[in-house]
Amino acid sequence: MEDEYDFSKGTRGAVLGTTGKTRITLFLDDDVLAAFRERAAHSGKGYQTLINETLRATLSPESAPLTVETLRRVLNEVLKAA
């Protein structure tokens, strides 16, 4: 160790650069968290990644994955129009 260190050019703040992510504290119901952890175990993704993907799909419904309900609705509309 040095006897003295020069911090005159040091800056305060995070040690890491920006990653495009922000750390927050969030309370989730135990059953919701358990469901995401179970899905994560089966998908090979992290549960936080799955939560983020779910939130993103909710914010942008047009990019959300196709659900059975949506497919049925579209098929019914097409069949009625034919």
Higher pLDDT, 16 or 24: 24
Asked if pLDDT for residue 13 goes beyond 90, the answer is no
Report DSSP letters for the chain, one per residue: --S----TT---S-SS---S---------HHHHHHHHHHHHHHSS-HHHHHHHHHHHHH-GGGSPPPHHHHHHHHHHHHHH-
Domain ranges for the chain? 30-81
Q: Confidence band (pLDDT; 50, 70, 90) for 59? A: confident
pLDDT of residue 75: 93
Mean pLDDT value of segment 57-67: 78
Looking at every residue in the chain, the average pLDDT score rounds to: 88
Give pTM, 2 decimals: 0.56
